[in-house]
Amino acid sequence: MLRTERLILRPWAESDAASCYEYAKDPAVGPAAGWPAHRSEAESLEIIRNVLMCPETYAVCLKEDGKAIGSVGLRLNGSTDMTERDDECELGYWIGRPFWGQGLIPEAAAEVLRRAFEDLRMSRVWCGYYDGNAKSKRVQEKLGFRYQWTTEEADVPQMRETRRGHVNAITRDEWIRDRIRRIDTDKKRYLPLLLLADEQEDMIDRYLDRGALYVVEDRGALKAECVITDEGGGVAEIKSLATVPEVQGKGYGSAMIRFAADLCRDRYDTLQVGTGDSPLTVPFYERCGFVRHHTDEGFFTRSYDHPIVEGGVLLRDMVYLRMPLKTTESEG
């Protein structure tokens, strides 16, 4: 079960047949999405059993009464013709006409997209709409989908016809980057997250004011932060990188590094990061494309007023890793 500000997204149940039929019988709802209006409550029940009661498909319900007023979900590999990859899926949705124009489907779909990228670790989500379905087009635009292609004669098998169909998609990195913003004032309000990366406040004070602070926030929920500084000589440095504990290991850290590299590429030759010689952090940065460059011996023991332990290792030396940002002629 998923929750948003106004909605509960829960699995469909057979007891939803009456409410499903109430809204899906409307010829303004299904045909625009490529399926015929339901003809009876019994037909709605069969569709619930055979179509809607499947993994990652949710009844859209108002919190006030829990009544199903629409549907939103992810069609996984094997149930969509948009991809053959297990790490990609298709987003689908509909809602009853009395609830149009209230932003409920964008609200529901935003939470399902979060689940796709954060919980299911999808790399890309696809979505499409047919010519004339302006409402669906606007939903996808609000969600950040990018145009991919148009098919002039797309099969619509349930309607026994062909239509002009448009296909959009959004990747995990695009989804995260749409939620990144730069913070120029009152940076210390993010101190609890900054302390996850650097647990002594006076050390943070050495770079926070001169650095560019970027945070990832999704509908008010803080996810990650990154501080980038100019170290001179064409070198930019990631001074701080942290993800809130609840979403660690879900791709935010690596996405922030790719964002930092792209951000710095035009102005700098090298992206640098310093970290303790820890089995948790050094391999992570190496997987992201960094290589060891030099070591500042004894950095942690002389700079911090207490022992710093990470991954069961008492940190002593600062390891600096670098990533080249420019492509040489020999590399193409």
CA distance 67 to 18: 10
Judge if 185 and 169 occupy the same domain: no
- pLDDT value for 66: 94
Judge if 171 and 183 occupy the same domain: no
28 and 57 share one domain: yes
Same domain, 161 and 213: no
Q: Kindly give the residue spans of alpha helices, DSSP state H, lying in the chain.
A: 17-24, 30-33, 41-47, 104-114, 134-143, 172-177, 191-197, 201-204, 252-264, 282-287, 299-303
Consecutive 10-residue runs of the chain (332 residues): their mean pLDDT? 97 98 97 96 98 97 96 93 94 98 97 97 97 96 97 93 96 97 97 94 95 96 97 97 95 96 96 93 95 94 90 91 80 50
Count up the domains in the chain and report the number.
2
DSSP assigned state of 38: P
Q: In the listed set 175, 202, 225, which residue is the last one of a domain according to the structure?
A: 175
Residues 236 and 198 reside in one and the same domain: yes
- pLDDT of 328: 61
Cβ burial, residue 224 (10 Å; 0-12/13-18/19+)? buried
The whole-number pLDDT of residue 106 equals 98
DSSP structural state of residue 317: P
Nearest CA to 96 out of 33, 179, 10, 167 is that of 33
171 shares its domain with 199: no
Shared-domain flag, residues 224 and 131? no
- pTM more than 0.85: yes
25 and 167 part of one domain = yes
- Mark which of 160, 175, 190 sits at the end of a domain: 175
User: Rounded to an integer, what distance in angstroms lies between the CA atom of residue 271 and that of residue 230?
Assistant: 10
The parent domain of residue 303 ranges over: 179-331
Find the CATH number of the domain harbouring 14: 3.40.630.30
Q: Which of 175, 203, 220 is the last residue of a domain?
A: 175
Same domain, 203 and 165: no
